[in-house]
Structure 1
Amino acid sequence: MSDPDETGRRPGRLGVGVVGAGRVGAVLGNALRATGHAVVGASGISEDSRERIDTLLPGVPNLEVPDVVERAELVLVAVPDDALGPLVSGLADTGAWQPGQLVVHTSGRFGTAVLEPARRAGAIPLAIHPAMTFSGTSLDLARLEGCTFAVTAPAPVLPIGQALVVEIGGEPVVVDEEARGLYHAALAHGANHLVVLVAQAAQALEAAGIATPGRVLAPLLGAALESATRSADVRDGVGPGAIAALTGPVSRGDVGTVRRHLTDLSALAAASGATDVPDSYTELARGATRRALASHRIDDSAAQALLDALDSATGSSRAGRTTP
């Protein structure tokens, strides 16, 4: 391997600047550093961000954002979605972006259009989003191996984004600019709402007298998730086949059990104020019913009976509320 030059970089490697040493930025900076790139600076304002720089990027100076950009050949921008556009535009207004500089953001919501001010200054725009949740600790590094990254970039530079992903052990998938919003909505719906669903199920179990709801749910939900995600890659004639993993009363057309669930969850809501639990159950059961019907798990009459029961429960729930 070649010796490093006076900047600390090896020939062919890049000086990386991390703008936003949050849970994602610090981890990806560490991963790039592990492949031989030199992290030349990072920005972190909060105490947590400063601690991440010390822990995951030891020896890297904590700098102001313009100083990070000035030093870097590859600028990794890992800031909240709503802050991304103003940050990129503000740096463009001060002439911070440099011709030939790689500017990589990690937002799932945006493609490269948000980087247009940097591109006009001669920078090379890349959007690279890892499809996983981050703890902001070294535990995330192993999880990058095999993780899918959505890559969006102008066609001539798309291979650069793909190569960066492969370099840190990820698997790149190309997502078109206009599809980024839908892509991100799908991930948020799946991951964020799964957390809410688990919290609601745990609350109901606790009310049923289960002291360790997480322990009860883990094997059941783990098996269901594994089966559903495996089936999702198989087409079933009406779309991704994840519904093949569906079990329980809806998949059997067992309307009596669904009615009992609705009664008990409504009682929980009345006792605890957790009105989101029966509401979520009702909406998701509607979706399960329609998909079970489309995939021929149940027939028309069973689906109609289930939907009638769910519609009746929704009307009763709304009528009994005193607040929206």
Structure 2
Amino acid sequence: MSTPPTMNIIGCGKLGMTLGRLWTTHQVFAIQAIMNRSQASTEKAIAFMQAGVAASDIRNMPPADAWLIATPDDDIASSCDALAASGKLKQGDIVFHCSGALPSSILAAATRAGAAISSVHPIRSFADPAQVAASFGGTFCGIEGDAEALNVLQAAFGAIGARTIPIDANFKTLYHAAAVFASNYLVTVLDVAVQAYVKAGIPEEAALQLMEPLVRGTVDNVFRLGTTKALTGPIARGDIATAVKQYRAVNTWDERHGVLYKQLGKLTSDIAARRRQKT
């Protein structure tokens, strides 16, 4: 068997240790040096991955074929600058990060040092590394960057079961905002619904129970049929009088929620119009 390429990890938190463990298990990369802010977190990562040795400074890390910078977003550029300044990079090395919000161009210092750069963003939570490592197969990863880096990283992520999908680096922030709409803001809209039910005299626990089949059914329909066909309700039926009456009631109760209802109503009307065009 050929020897797997080597990798160093700068900022080996939950994401870094999960990927490191998977790559070690599948013999995709040979994990070498790990550098975290604290010795305790470094030792925790090494124990979880069952690979790697601790490094206190980038200058103490050995050369490697690939470098993962998995620090918090605010530290990625400075970490890359320090790596480039260390003289550790050589022509053909790969430097990449896994941020969903930042483009690969944040690693420009590595480009100037001769490395190929990329961003690979796994679209999932890494709150429980052991659970994620056990269920990583099928995880989508948004990828962009230099072709030389992507050729290697697509194969590396594919070897651990990921499904890579190219994205436009010019719209990386919009790409990340999409996840906020799909997850965080969904929670926000459902919270407003709970508050409205409570205002109507229904206890919060009961409101959640009666919402559950409606929400689950809607989400299932979105992924089964697509957003346009999944749309139901007064606007989808063309019952604008009911929608206006609801807006007025919501606005009287809470003007902030009234503004939200009105804006969502306009966007929902656009979906309904697309639906009519397709029928």
Task: With the length of structure 1 as denominator, give the TM-score of the two structures.
Answer: 0.72
Q: Work out which of the residue numbers 280, 285, 291 in structure 1 matches 2:265.
A: 285
- What letter is aligned with 1:282? K
Aligned pairs for 1:197-276 within 5 A: 197-207=189-199, 208-232=202-226, 242-266=227-251, 268-269=253-254, 275=256
1:22 aligns with 2:13: yes
Cα distance in 2 for partners of 1:206, 1:139 equals 36
Shift of 1:148: 1.4
Mean Cα deviation higher: 258-267 or 158-167: 258-267
- In percent, how many aligned pairs have the same letter? 24
2:31/2:51 contact within 8 Å kept: no
Cα distance in 1 for partners of 2:114, 2:156 equals 20
Shift of 1:245: 0.6
Q: Which residue of 2 aligns with 1:131?
A: 123
2:43/2:54 contact within 8 Å kept: no
Matched residue SS, 2:180: helix
1:204-259, Cα deviation, whole Å (9 max, x unpaired): 34443232544443433233223223434xxxxxxxxx221111122122234324
2:33/2:62 contact within 8 Å kept: no
1:43/1:68 contact within 8 Å kept: no
1:206/1:212 contact within 8 Å kept: no
Aligned pairs for 1:45-60 within 5 A: 45=37, 53=45, 56-58=48-50, 60=52
Shift of 1:76: 1.5
Q: Please report the RMSD computed on the Cα atoms of aligned residues, expressed in angstroms.
A: 3.1
Aligned length: 275
Shift of 1:144: 2.3
Cα distance in 1 for partners of 2:60, 2:274 equals 53
Q: Which residue of 2 aligns with 1:95?
A: 87
1:187 aligns with 2:153: no
Unaligned runs of 5+ in 1: 3-10, 233-241, 298-324
Shift of 1:264: 4.3
Shift of 1:158: 2.9
Cα distance in 1 for partners of 2:7, 2:61 equals 9
